[in-house]
Amino acid sequence: MVHKLRPGLLILIGGLLVFLLAACTASPTSTPLGISPTSTPLPTGPEVGVIVISTDLAVGVNRVVFGLVDREGMPVRSSGGQAEVQAAIFISGQEAAEVRHSATARFMRWPTGSQGVFTASLELDTAGFWQLQVSIASEDRGLVEAVGAFEVKERSDTPSIGERAPASITPTLAGVEDLATITSSPVPDPDLYRLSVHQALEAGKPLVVVFATPAFCITATCGPQVEVVSQLKERFQDRANFIHVEVFEDPHVIEGGRPTGGFVPAVLEWNLPTEPWTFVLDRAGRVQAKFEAFTTLEELEDALQKVLDS
């Protein structure tokens, strides 16, 4: 059965697609979930613009992922591997946005190719429309200042920090004869399909779960993200559980270059607007960290270690 997602989940804005494709060397075949950036530089706009890649920003502390692109849609990199950012909210009646939070963003190399994105932890204290003001020393342009707009919601669409995760029933090894029927990973790690999410939540251990489709990811980061989770598993498998949930049902049944079976129920139960998504849950099954788009082994290990130490 083909699942129908709410309007907006299958929207893909051209500016972000250009940015992501420029940042990757692999050629994606399709996209299962829409990635809808909140700002795209126009051809007649500034020399460099900010594209906010994060789609599910809500009141509270957020991991904000963004990229910088020029008028031709080519990524702009920082010579120092970081950027200074300010988050400013638009307030009715005021001419300029009011700066509420500042941080240093670090450059995160894309898992394929030499490009990448920036990530910053920002406290966003009010719902509404915000501006991300970015300043970097670029490799070939000198000092670059750029802005982009994004929206902050009262509540996250995906499971919120501190909230119990949905006890989704997800495919496991026990129910299939061939892993290719439940994952599009070309070389799957069987350990990531040993437990269903609902079984892992009953186990009383921390859980790292990644939703991704390695063979059909528009950003070409899903495969590397699943590999990162597998690497993390090798270090902590005696203290936590690790699961990969393929976003497509029957990923082995292909027509026109993509699976025909629609999305697995867990995608809808977790209300995922994009992929990949990775969640770190504590022993009680509550979300303690979540990552939209690709995240590094170091980031995930730090988040998991905090859960293990608590």
Q: What is the pLDDT of residue 264?
A: 96
CATH architecture assignment, domain 173-309: 3-Layer(aba) Sandwich (3.40)
Q: What is the pLDDT of residue 75?
A: 84
Angle between helices 297-309 and 222-236 (to 10 degrees): 40
Q: Where are the domains of the chain?
A: 37-152, 173-309
For residue 276, cis peptide bond before it (omega within 30 degrees of 0): yes
Count CB atoms within 10 A of the CB of residue 214.
23
Distance in angstroms (rounded) separating the CA atoms of residues 271 and 166: 10
For 168-213, what is each residue's pLDDT tens digit? Answer: 999 999 989 999 999 999 999 999 999 999 999 999 999 999 999 9
Residue type (1 letter), 192: L
Q: Which fold has domain 37-152?
A: Immunoglobulin-like (2.60.40)
Res 122: pLDDT = 96
* pLDDT of residue 16 exceeding 70: no
Find out whether 50 and 146 touch, Cβ atoms under 8 Å: yes
Q: Identify the DSSP state of 297.
A: H
Which ranges of 113-246 does DSSP label H, i.e. alpha helix?
Answer: 197-202, 222-236
Query: pTM of this prediction?
Result: 0.84
Q: Which tokens sit at 52?
A: 């906010």
Per residue in 122-163, pLDDT (tens digit) is 999 999 999 999 999 987 888 999 999 999 999 999 999 999
- The residue written with tokens 């394929």 in the block is 112
Distances (CA, A) of 278 to 47, 141, 179, 211, 290: 34, 34, 21, 6, 6
